[in-house]
């Protein structure tokens, strides 16, 4: 109705009835897609959650809080941070600097600034040559700063041996070595452009910038928790992922049988947009999964005479195309992907659920900080002789309260019984002396 060519005499007649067509489209999109389809997907996701193998839907509220607490504890990891070098005042200053949050913020900002140098394409063309040299020079400066900040200063603060105890520092060291190679290649291009190709330098810089961006995941606890949550979620939904991949392969083989001989059209071509091979088909159905112009592919798969030849066998199949594309889009895009996202969000919300006052995110962070005093190497274990002192530190934490101050804010202050409990203070001092 909307795609038929209209002559000049009929334009006024069509425009006179266009208002109710526009209303129809908006009403259909709102009720049919935004409400109807989303409600259907929500019901499917809820049924999936209700029939999980752990039978969590049958638990009481208290039991559900307990299982969430266990999962939240399983996501917690000890802090991997070398002890303070108190024997050297200079290294102690460097240590406090590199472990501060502002140091992480500056490092993150430098990595993001390095990524922004690729906003302008690096090219040897006359109109982009000057900008390319400026951006490449800025990238070299940022790479030198990365080496100094993430390798040299941290190695001086932590020591050469303890620096490599963390896998993040090891990754930063490897990126520092590659950054040295990139700096040499970029300087060679800036000094003698004929010695190295611009495409080689650009590809090297882009790959290095991508890996540097991944290091941001290890700098912040929220990013670490997200990575751990995603990893644990993948292991939990391995059967679902298996069904998901089997469904994609089934649709890929069906598409090869149904549409491999269809002639080229608006989207179909003989290069990469076709169903003539398994790898090309998988790439194409992933594109359909994202919703990119899948309706154009549907129209090409439904082509009929006179735009094709039944004798040559290059016409489409209208019923098969409608069933294949619509069922695939609804099943994979709206159901499978939403179920996977729902499981990830559920696991991520467990860790950041502040409704549970018994173990919120602030208490977990404080527990990790206190645990780090007894477990410097982040092994997850402490000696039995230190448990008593550790529990006393946690007890001292519970004696702190939040008291109202000006402007309606709250300030964390110790109760009077903390200072008046001389026995507690004396026993903690004695245990500290024993530990030393």
Per DSSP, the residues of 24-81 read HHHHHIIIIIIIIIHHHHHHHHHHHHHT-TT-GGGS-HHHHHHHHHHHHHHH------
What are the residues whose beta carbons fall under 8 Å from the beta carbon of 338, sequence distance 6 or more?
41, 44, 45
pLDDT of residue 238: 82
Cis before 398? omega within 30: no
Could you read off the pLDDT of 229-264 as tens digits, one per residue? 777 777 777 888 888 889 999 999 998 888 888 877
Q: Extract the tokens encoding 108.
A: 């993150």
**Consecutive H or E run containing 16:** helix 11-16
* Pick from 159-163, 182-186, 380-384: least confident: 380-384
Q: How confident is the model at residue 413 (pLDDT cuts 50, 70, 90)?
A: very low
Residues of 371-410 as b/e, b for ≥16 C-beta within 10 angstroms? bbebbbebeeeeeeeeeebbeebeebeeeeeeeeeeeeee
CA 218, CA 221: separation in Å to the nearest integer?
7
Q: At what angle do helices 387-398 and 361-374 cross, to 10 degrees?
A: 150
pLDDT of residue 351: 62
Confirm if 86 and 92 have CB atoms less than 8 A apart.
yes
Q: Give 259's DSSP letter.
A: H
Please state, rounded to an integer, the average pLDDT across all residues of the chain: 76
Place of tokens 């620096």: 163
Confirm if 288 and 328 have CB atoms less than 8 A apart.
yes
Q: How confident is the model at residue 300 (pLDDT cuts 50, 70, 90)?
A: confident
Q: How confident is the model at residue 111 (pLDDT cuts 50, 70, 90)?
A: very high
Q: 52 pLDDT exceeds 50?
A: yes
pLDDT of residue 85: 81
- For the chain, helix, strand, coil in percent to 5 are 70, 0, 25
Residue 117: name the closest of 131, 127, 129 by CA.
Answer: 131
Confirm if 169 and 218 have CB atoms less than 8 A apart.
no
Average pLDDT over residues 128-154: 91
CA 42 → CA 47, 50, 132, distances in Å? 9, 12, 49
Q: 148 pLDDT exceeds 90?
A: yes
Q: Is the pTM of this model over 0.85?
A: no
């Amino acid at each position: 109705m909307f795609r038929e060519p209209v002559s000049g005499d009929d334009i006024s007649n069509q425009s006179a009835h266009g208002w109710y067509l526009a209303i129809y489209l908006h009403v259909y999109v709102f009720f049919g897609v935004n409400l109807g389809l989303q409600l259907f997907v929500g019901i499917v996701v809820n049924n999936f959650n209700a029939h999980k193998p752990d039978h969590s839907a049958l638990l009481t509220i208290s039991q559900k809080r307990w299982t969430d607490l266990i999962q939240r504890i399983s996501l917690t990891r000890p802090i991997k941070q070398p002890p303070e070098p108190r024997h050297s005042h200079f290294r102690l200053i460097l240590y406090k600097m590199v472990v501060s949050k502002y140091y992480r913020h500056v490092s993150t900002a430098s990595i993001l600034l390095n990524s922004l140098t690729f906003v302008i394409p690096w090219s040897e063309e006359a109109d982009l040559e000057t900008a390319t040299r400026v951006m490449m020079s800025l990238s070299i400066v940022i790479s030198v700063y990365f080496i100094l900040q993430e390798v040299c200063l941290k190695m001086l603060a932590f020591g050469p041996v303890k620096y490599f105890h963390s896998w993040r520092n090891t990754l930063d060291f490897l990126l520092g070595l590659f950054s040295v190679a990139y700096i040499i290649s970029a300087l060679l291009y800036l000094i003698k452009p004929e010695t190295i190709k611009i495409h080689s330098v650009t590809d090297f810089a882009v790959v290095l910038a991508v890996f540097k961006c991944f290091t941001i995941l290890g700098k912040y606890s929220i990013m670490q928790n997200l990575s751990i949550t995603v990893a644990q979620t993948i292991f939990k939904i391995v059967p679902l992922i298996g069904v998901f991949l089997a469904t994609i392969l089934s649709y890929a083989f069906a598409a090869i049988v149904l549409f491999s001989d269809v002639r080229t059209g608006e989207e179909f071509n003989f290069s990469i947009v076709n169903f003539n091979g398994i790898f090309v088909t998988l790439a194409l159905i992933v594109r359909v999964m994202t919703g990119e112009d899948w309706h154009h592919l549907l129209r090409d798969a439904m082509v009929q005479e006179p735009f094709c030849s039944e004798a040559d066998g290059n016409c489409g199949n209208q019923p098969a195309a409608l069933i294949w594309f619509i069922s695939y889009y609804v099943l994979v895009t709206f159901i499978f992907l939403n179920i996977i996202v729902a499981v990830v969000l559920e696991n991520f919300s467990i860790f950041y659920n502040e409704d549970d006052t018994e173990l919120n995110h602030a208490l977990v962070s404080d527990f990790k900080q206190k645990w780090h005093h007894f477990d410097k190497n982040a092994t997850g274990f402490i000696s039995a002789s230190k448990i008593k002192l550790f529990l006393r530190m946690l007890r001292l934490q519970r004696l702190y309260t939040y008291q109202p101050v000006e402007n309606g804010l709250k300030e964390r202050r110790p109760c009077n019984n903390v200072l008046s409990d001389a026995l507690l203070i004396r026993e903690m001092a004695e245990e500290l002396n024993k530990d030393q």
